[in-house]
Amino acid sequence: MTNTKSATGRLLLSGLFLAMSCHAFAQGESDVAGVVPDAQQETSTLRAETPGVVVLSDKIHEITQTLESTSAVHQYSFTAIRGQNVLLATPGSQYDKLWKVEYQVDGGEWKRKPYAGAYKISDLNPGSQVNVRVLAVEGGVFENAEYRIVFGSFPHMNYDLLDEKGILPISAFQSDKKGFLATQGFKEVTLEASFTDSKAYPLEGGQLFFSLTTGTGEEVKERFLSDSNGRISELIEFKRCEGGWLADSIYENVDKTRLTWSTRYERGDYRANNILAGQLEDKPHTFTLGHLCKRWLTNLHTRP
């Protein structure tokens, strides 16, 4: 399978905090258009409204940056415009070893993020402001320390894998095999996915990890990013197969002619993960792929 699109490259913003210990900001997997006056715009732009605080736009952000010393503090702010749930995640193995994360809701008490995995901040009001700061752990010793956080609207994912266009599918239930053929194709299928926040609003920046094993054992693993409409649409291509099991006959009516087709096929599988949600994602299900190998006409009957 070939990934027709790759995730957008990581961009670094530096020099935002020249007068403070808070330093630069890099937003992974996002486009940065510049500094704008309105944080509620649904763009990937960022702004520094309060000195030393990077205000994030209405999406999900993956941030990779470096604390330049043990006294450095990097701060970010996100507004839950619709009162949607907020995700705060710290992927990787260095959390709570060199650096930690604290969060604050609507100017309240600063609280320490309790563990390294994905953390959901809920029960927010429309317009609630969630602030996050990254700083060294107590007693931490380092010259600099890279960190990675995920911060913004909590992502909810739905997806479908569509049959290859223009094919005549075999029955999803085959008489000699157990299971349901959820998707079928000779050499390609189409992935369609959508991301929303907890208020069902389209979400930019959601990440889907797609894995597929064809009937020949070919493995394809790709990561895709949702666009400004919360959508992903990708053509997934793979190699054709040979041999395979004989499927139940299928029939096609063309004018007064009834065609009977025979097909050989193999079975594969696929699944998709909402990877930024980590352990909080809905349990993924593995579906069966009908990998069609060969088809031939076995009978043709024309009515008078």
Residue 113 in tokens: 């993020």
Question: CA 301, CA 282: separation in Å to the nearest integer?
Answer: 49
Check if 11-153 and 156-302 are the same fold.
no
In this prediction, residue 113 carries a pLDDT of 94
Return the exposure string of 159-176: e unless at least 16 CB atoms fall within 10 Å of the residue's CB, then b. Answer: bebebbeeeebbeeebee
Are 66 and 17 in contact, with CB atoms under 8 Å apart? no
Residue ranges per structural domain of the chain: 11-153, 156-302
In this prediction, residue 303 carries a pLDDT of 83
Return the exposure string of 270-284: e unless at least 16 CB atoms fall within 10 Å of the residue's CB, then b. Answer: bebbbbbbbebeeee
The topology (CATH level 3) of 11-153 is: Jelly Rolls (2.60.120)
Q: What is the pTM of this model?
A: 0.79
Query: What are the mean pLDDT values of the chain's consecutive 10-residue runs (304 residues total)?
Result: 38 34 36 32 40 92 95 97 97 85 97 93 98 94 93 98 97 89 98 98 98 97 98 98 95 93 97 95 95 96 84
In this prediction, residue 50 carries a pLDDT of 59
In this prediction, residue 29 carries a pLDDT of 35
Architecture (CATH level 2) of domain 156-302: Sandwich (2.60)
